[in-house]
Structure 1
Amino acid sequence: MSCSWVFAVSLTFCVFFFSLSGFDEGNVSGMINSVRFRQQYGLSDKSKSAAQVAALEGNISSMVQIASVGGALIAFLLTDRIGRVWALRQMCLVWILGVALQITSNGNLGQLYAGRFVAGLGIGQSTVIGPTYLVEIAPRSIRGLCTCIFAGNVYLGIVLSYFANWGASMHISNLSNRQWIVPITLQIIFGGLTLVMSFLALESPRWLLVQGRHDEAKNNMVKLRGLPATHPYVMTELQDIRDSIDRERESSMGTSFLAPLRELFFIGSNLYRLILGLMVQFLGQWSGANSITIYAPQYFALLGVKGQNEKLYATCILGVVKLVSSLSCAFFIVDRFGRKRSLYTGLILQFLSILYIAVFLAVDGGSTTSGHQTAGQKRASTAGIAAIYVNGLAWALGWNTVQYLVNSEMFPLRTRALATSIIMCFHFANQYGNSKAVPTMLLPVSQGGMTSSGTMFFFAAVLVIGLVYVWFFLPETAGRSLESMDALFNLPWYQIGRKGKMMRSETTADLLDAKRDIELIETVDVEKVEHGRS
Structure 2
Amino acid sequence: MLLLNIVEDRPTPPQIYNYKVYLTALCISWGACLFGYDSSYIGTTIVLPSFQTAFGLSKLSTHELANVSANIVSTFQLGAFGGAALGFPLMEKYGRKIALIIATAVFIIGAIVQTVATHQLSYVYSGRFLVGLGVGSITSAAPVFLAEISPPAIRGRLVGLYEISYQVGAVVGFFINYGIKQHQNTKAAESWRIPTALQLVPAGMLMLGLVFVRETPRFLFKQARDAEATRNLCILRDLSPDHPYILDEIASIRTQISDVTVLHAKEETEGRVAWFKSYWRGIAKYCLAKGIRNRMAIGFMMMLFQNMVGTNAINYYSPTIFKSIGVSNTSLYTGIFGALKAAASVVFLGFLVDRLGRRLPLLVGGITCCICMFYIGAYIKVAHPASYASASLMSSSTQAGAKAATAAIFIFGMSFAASWNGLAWIICSEIYPLKIRGFCAAYTAMAQWLWQFVIARSTPYAAASLGYGLFFLFGSFCACAVVFAYFFIPEIKGLTLEQMDQVFGYVDFDANPLLQDRQLSNDEIEKQTNNTKQNDYMLSPSIIAPKIEK
Say whether the fold is shared (TM-score over 0.5): yes
CA distance in 2, matches of 1:394, 1:413: 32
Whether the aligned pair in 2 keeps the contact of 1:367 and 1:377 (CA below 8 Å) is no
> Does the residue aligned with 1:162 lie in a helix, a strand or coil?
helix
Could you tell me how far apart the structure 1 residues matched to 2:417 and 2:285 are? 33
Matched, 1:33 2:47: yes
Q: How far does residue 512 in structure 1 lie from its aligned partner after superposition?
A: 6.9
The residue that corresponds to 2:58 in the other structure is 44
CA RMSD of aligned residues (A): 2.6
Q: Distance in 1 between matches of 2:53 and 2:344?
A: 36
Question: What's the % identity of the aligned pairs?
Answer: 27
Instruction: Check conservation: 1:487, 1:510, Cα contact below 8 A.
Output: no
Name 1:342's counterpart in structure 2. Answer: 361
Q: CA deviation at 1:515?
A: 9.1
Q: Which residue of 2 aligns with 1:391?
A: 412
User: 1:462 is matched with which residue?
Assistant: 477
Give yes or no for contact 1:303–1:368 (8 Å, CA) kept in 2. Answer: no
SS of the residue corresponding to residue 483 of structure 1 reads: coil
Structure 1: distance between partners of 2:383 and 2:461: 21
Contact conserved, 1:8 with 1:223, CA < 8 A, in 2?
Answer: no
CA distance in 2, matches of 1:165, 1:455: 26
Matches within 5 A, 1:77-88: 77-88=89-100
Aligned pairs, number: 500
CA distance in 1, matches of 2:301, 2:140: 17
Output the amino acid matched with 2:52.
Answer: R
Please state if 1:361 is matched with 2:371. no
Match of 1:483 among 474, 492, 498: 498
CA distance in 1 between partners of 2:370 and 2:425 (Å): 21
Structure 1 position 167, deviation (Å): 1.3
- Closer/same/farther in 2, CA of residues 514 and 65 from structure 1, 3 Å limit: farther
CA deviation vs aligned residue, 1:21-51 (integer Å, no higher than 9, x gap) = 3221012122122121122234332x51x22
1:190-248: per-residue Cα shift (whole Å, max 9, x none)? Answer: 11111111110011000010011111111111111122222222221122111221255
Matched, 1:312 2:328: no
Letter matched to residue 25 of structure 1: S
Give the drift of 1:393: 0.6
Counterpart contact for 2:222–2:260, Cα < 8 Å: no
Q: Give the whole-Å Cα distance in 2 for the aligned partners of 1:518 and 1:395.
A: 28
Matched, 1:215 2:227: yes
Cα drift, residue 369 of structure 1: 3.0
In 2: Cα distance, 1:407 partner to 1:518 partner? 19
Larger mean Cα displacement after TM superposition, 169-178 or 242-251: 242-251
Q: Which amino acid aligns with 2:326?
A: G
- Listed one character per residue, the Cα deviations across residues 31-88 of structure 1 (whole Å, up to 9, x for unaligned) are 122121122234332x51x222211111111110111110001100101111111111
Letter in 1 for 2:426: L
1:369 to 1:123, Cα distance in 2 relative to 1, 3 A: farther
Counterpart of 2:457, as a letter, is: K
Amino acid at match of 2:316: I
Partner Cα distance (1:216, 1:435) in 2: 43
Letter in 1 for 2:57: L
The 3 A distance-change label for structure 1 pair 4 and 299 is farther
Determine if contact 2:256/2:435 at 8 Å carries over to the other structure: no
Q: In the alignment, does 2:466 pair up with 1:450?
A: yes
Indicate which of 28, 43, 51 corresponds to 1:18. 28
Amino acid across the alignment from 2:27: F
| Paired AA for residue 166 in structure 1 | Y
Residue aligning to 2:323: 301
- 2:355 and 2:54 map into 1 onto residues whose CA distance is 50
**Aligned partner (choices 223, 241, 246) of residue 234 of structure 1:** 246
8 Å contact kept, 1:92–1:194: yes
Gaps spanning 5+ residues in structure 2: where? Answer: 1-9, 268-274, 508-512, 537-550
- 1:198-213 to 2 correspondences below 5 Å: 198-213=210-225
Match of 2:457 in 1: 436
Q: 1:285 aligns with which of 277, 284, 307?
A: 307
Summarize the Cα distance change of 1:159–1:264 in structure 2 as closer, same or farther, 3 Å threshold. Answer: farther
Distance in structure 1 (CA, Å) of the matches to 2:197 and 2:283: 39
Asked if structure 2 preserves the Cα contact closer than 8 Å seen for 1:354 and 1:457, the reply is: yes
SS at match of 1:477: coil
Three-state SS of the structure 1 residue aligned to 2:354 is: coil
**Alpha-carbon deviation of 1:182?**
0.8
Aligned to 1:121: 133
**8 Å contact kept, 1:302–1:369:** no
